[in-house]
Amino acid sequence: MTDRVFITGIGTVNPLGLDVDSCWQQAIQGESAVDKITLFDPGEHSTQFAAEVKGFDPVSRFGRKDARRMDRFVQFAVAATEEAMEDASLRITDSNRDRVGAVIGTGIGGVSTLGDEAKTLRDKGPKRVSPFMVPMMLPDTASGQVAIVFGARGPNICITSACASSTNAVGEAAEIIRRGAADVIISGGTEAAISPLTMAAFGNMGALSSRNETPASACRPFDRTRDGFVAGEGAAILILESEAHACARGANIRAEIIGYGLTNDAFHITAPAPDGAAAIMCMQLALQASGLHPEDIDYINAHGTSTPLNDKTETLAIKQVFGDHAYQIPISSTKSMHGHLLGGAGALEAIMCIQAMRNGVIPPTINYETLDPDCDLDYVPNSARQAPVDTVLSNSFGFGGHNACLILSAFTNGGTVQLNE
């Protein structure tokens, strides 16, 4: 056996839908999940809209007691894992649980719990602060709770690298499998940061769009009139397996992880480096790991945040890596529809890439209306596009200068891995 790593199951809870299929249908129809915030009263905030997960009932899923002891970001992670495990037809038993791990990223963790308990401290005093606050707010609680619920006793870590968190989580999970430390890793990311505190902070930074009158069209990556990102929430989970383990159980293969790169701008805590040098190197490292040439990439799922700096810099970096071929590659930002899931974004976008390969359809960048001379590539504007997609690049760039890239490929051997005779 080789050190190949396969994706055998996917699951998600996000603003476009509470499962992969409903999310994908909304995406290819170009639907926006952005609307006025309902999770709290945003009346005093400069930005009053976001992409919320609607219709998610944690009490019916987990029971009232357990739901109250999990922050929303953990609830999302457990729910998405349930779907991914079912999709993978994977059972964790006493015989395999020590070789099954979890690597789940988050950018902020349980910030809603922190905000709620800070208010309790201020209004009611220290004796009324919940003893569950610390485990509810810790970023590693998602990976820990997933391990508890599903019985996975193998390697378990949380990765926090801002908006690159879940791309790093998937990439590092693959590396754990490749070095033989686990057979299966539950990987991905989760975020639930649409709270008064975080929305105020992002708004005061000038990072958010302020199109309060037209929220559905606020997120417009690569458009000349873009004015900031739109906050989203949710989770996306991918089940990663070694080739040997997948073969032994005849697993259905969703995709293969063939390339991973990570770098840092070493420039500014929030702004990308204007020359895109580290983002360029990150994509090049992923290509080098995959053994592919730039012209082998069929689709790029861009970081595409709808901020003035990111979209310009990412376009520049893509041109430097792909040369003239950059103008031939379809590129889209699905954040235009589901918002920016921060630490959960990369994993959700990896699922979008998998669905594009499985269905031969590239999801669009919606709200693209006005050409920016600095962003002049093919962004699949406003409508999904049918096209064969066998190999994809997914970019994630985050505060702190973090850059992470994944290259995924379709699995063409009938979808099922079997042992060689």
Considering only CA atoms, which of 232, 163, 211 is closest in space to residue 369? 211
Give which of 402, 223, 236 is closest to 304, Cα–Cα. 223
In Å, what is the CA distance from 241 to each residue of 88, 148, 158, 182?
10, 20, 19, 9
> In the numeric block, which tokens belong to residue 353?
């890439």
Q: Of 102, 108, 395, 409, which Cα lies nearest the Cα of 263?
A: 395
Nearest to 375 by CA among 238, 226, 258: 226
Q: Is 293 noted as a catalytic residue in this protein?
A: no
189 bridge partner residues: 105, 236
- Tell me which residue has tokens 């376009």: 315
Residue type, 246: A
Q: Which of 23, 158, 163, 375 is catalytic?
A: 163
Question: In angstroms, what CA-CA distances link 5 with 163, 180, 184, 266, 331?
Answer: 24, 11, 9, 30, 25
Give yes or no for a contact between 193 and 107, defined as CB atoms under 8 angstroms apart.
yes
Is residue 45 annotated as part of the catalytic site, yes or no? Answer: no
Strands annotated E in 149-267: 156-159, 184-191, 234-242, 255-264
Torsion of CA 208, 212, 215, 218, to 10 degrees: -40
Which one of the listed residues 247, 340, 353, 375 is annotated catalytic? 340
Catalytic residue, candidates 219, 245, 247, 303 = 303
CA distance 239 to 173: 10
| 21 closest CA partner among 106, 72, 86 | 86
Q: CA-CA distance, 31 to 35, in Å (whole number)? A: 12
Residue 263's DSSP bridge partners are 403
Say whether 402 is catalytic: no
Beta strand 156-159 pairing with 100-105: parallel
Report in angstroms the alpha-carbon separations of 296 from 12, 253, 392. 28, 21, 9
**Residue positions annotated with a catalytic role:** 163, 303, 340
